[in-house]
Chain A
Amino acid sequence: MLDTTYNVETPEGIDLHARAAGPVPRILAYAVDVLYRTLILAALGIGLAFADTAGIGIWLVCSFLLEWFYPVFFEVLRGGQTPGKKAFGLMVVNDNLTPIAWGASLVRNLLRFADFLPFAYATGVIAMTLGRHFQRLGDLAAGTLVVYREADKAPVTLPDSTPLPPPRNLKQQDQQALISLFERHNDLSEARQQELANLLEPITQKRDSAALGYLRSVASWLLGGRD
Chain B
Amino acid sequence: MKIENLTVRARLRSPWESIDLGTALARQYWLPLFLVWLLPAALVLAPLAWLLPEHPGWSLFAVWWFKPVFDRLPLFMISRVLFGMPVSAPTALKQFFKQNRRDWLAWITLRRLNPTRSFDMPVTVLEQSSGAARSARIGLLHRKHASAATWLTLTGIHLEGFFLIAAFILIYLFIPEQVAANIDWLPTLRGDTLALEWASNVLYLFIMAAVAPFYIVCGFCLYIGRRIELEGWDIEIQFRDLAERHQRKQQPRQHGIAGGSGTVSILLFFALAFGSLTPAPEVKADSLETPQQAQQHIDEILAAEDFHRMEQINGWRLKEWESKEQKIPEWLIKFIEWLFNRSLDTDDASDSNWGAAIARLIEILLWVGVIAGLIYLGWRHHDKILERLRWRYKPKPKIAAPETLFGLDIRQSSLPDDVCAEVQRLWQAGEKRASLGLLYRATLSHLIEDFQFHFGDHLTESECARLVHRRQREPREGLPPVTAPLSRFVQQLTADWQQLAYAHRNPVDARINALCQEWQEVFRNDC
Please tell me if the beta carbons of A58 and B24 are within 8 angstroms of each other in the complex.
no
B residues near A (Cβ < 8 Å) are 7-9, 11-12, 14, 16-17, 19-21, 23-25, 27-28, 151-152, 155, 159, 162-163, 165-166, 169-170, 173, 214, 218, 229-232, 234-236, 238-243, 245-247, 249-250, 299, 302-303, 308, 310, 354-356, 358-359, 362
Using Cβ atoms and an 8 Å threshold, which residues of chain A touch B24? 2-4, 22
- Can you sample 12 A-B contacts with CB below 8 Å? A2-B8, A24-B23, A54-B354, A119-B165, A120-B162, A148-B14, A165-B302, A173-B238, A177-B238, A181-B232, A184-B235, A202-B250
Smallest beta-carbon distance B122→chain A, Å: 18
B230 touches A188 (CB 8 A): yes
- On whether A24 and B242 interact (CB within 8 A), knowing A129-B23, A148-B16, A224-B310, the answer reads no
Is B362's CB under 8 angstroms from A1's CB?
Answer: no
The answer to whether A157 has its CB under 8 Å from any CB of chain B is no
Q: Return the contact of A184 from the options B25, B232, B238, B250 (Cβ within 8 A).
A: B232
* B249 CB contacts on chain A under 8 angstroms: 169
Q: Is the CB of B163 within 8 A of A122?
A: yes
Which residues of chain A have a CB within 8 Å of any CB of chain B?
1-4, 19-25, 27-28, 50-55, 57-58, 88-89, 118-122, 125, 129-130, 134, 148, 165, 168-171, 173-174, 176-177, 180-181, 184, 187-188, 192-193, 196, 199-203, 224, 226
Quick check: B152 and A24 within 8 Å, CB to CB? yes
Question: Is B354's CB under 8 angstroms from A51's CB?
Answer: yes
With A119-B162, A174-B242 as given contacts, are A3 and B299 in contact (CB-CB < 8 Å)?
no
- Closest chain-A Cβ to B254's Cβ sits at a distance in Å of 13
**What residues of B have a CB within 8 angstroms of the CB of A200 in the complex?**
239, 242-243
Known: A27-B155, A181-B232, A199-B243. A119 touches B19 (CB 8 A): no
Chain B positions within 8 Å of A2 at CB level: 7-9, 21, 24-25, 28
Q: Which residues of B contact A55 (CB under 8 A)?
A: 355
Tell whether, in the assembled complex, residue A24 and residue B238 are in contact, meaning their CB atoms are under 8 Å apart.
Answer: no
For the complex, what is the distance from the CA of A25 to the CA of B14, rounded to whole Å? 11
Provide the residues of chain B in CB contact with A57, threshold 8 Å.
359
Residue of B nearest to A20 (CB): B20
State A138–B308 Cα separation when bound (angstroms).
Answer: 49
A53, B353: Cα distance in complex, Å: 12
> Would you call B23 and A22 a contact (CB within 8 A)?
yes
Taking A25-B19, A196-B236 as known contacts, 9 extra A-B pairs with beta carbons closer than 8 A to each other, sorted by chain A number, are A1-B8, A2-B9, A4-B20, A24-B19, A28-B151, A53-B355, A54-B356, A129-B23, A200-B242
What 3 A-B pairs come out closest when comparing CB atoms? Answer: A22-B20, A54-B355, A177-B238
- The complex places the Cα of A54 from the Cα of B361 at a distance, in Å, of 12
Neighbour of A58 across the interface among B14, B243, B362, CB < 8 A: B362
Query: For the complex, what is the distance from the CA of A96 to the CA of B218, rounded to whole Å?
Result: 28
Q: B214 contacts which chain A residues (CB < 8 A)?
A: 129
A208 to chain B, nearest CB (A): 15
Q: Give A129 to B247 CA distance when docked, in angstroms.
A: 43
Once the chains bind, are A203 and B12 in contact (CB under 8 Å)?
no
Least CB distance from A4 to B in Å reads 5
Shortest CB distance A3–B (Å): 4
> Please, which residues of chain A bring their CB within 8 A of the CB of B162?
119-122
Give Cα A148 to B236, complex, Å.
26
Let me know if A54 and B14 touch, CB within 8 A.
Answer: no
Q: How far is the CB of B4 from chain A (nearest CB, A)?
A: 11
With CB as the reference atom, state the residue of chain B lying closest to A1: B9
What is the distance, in angstroms, from B404's C-beta to the closest C-beta of chain A?
A: 47
B246 touches A202 (CB 8 A): yes
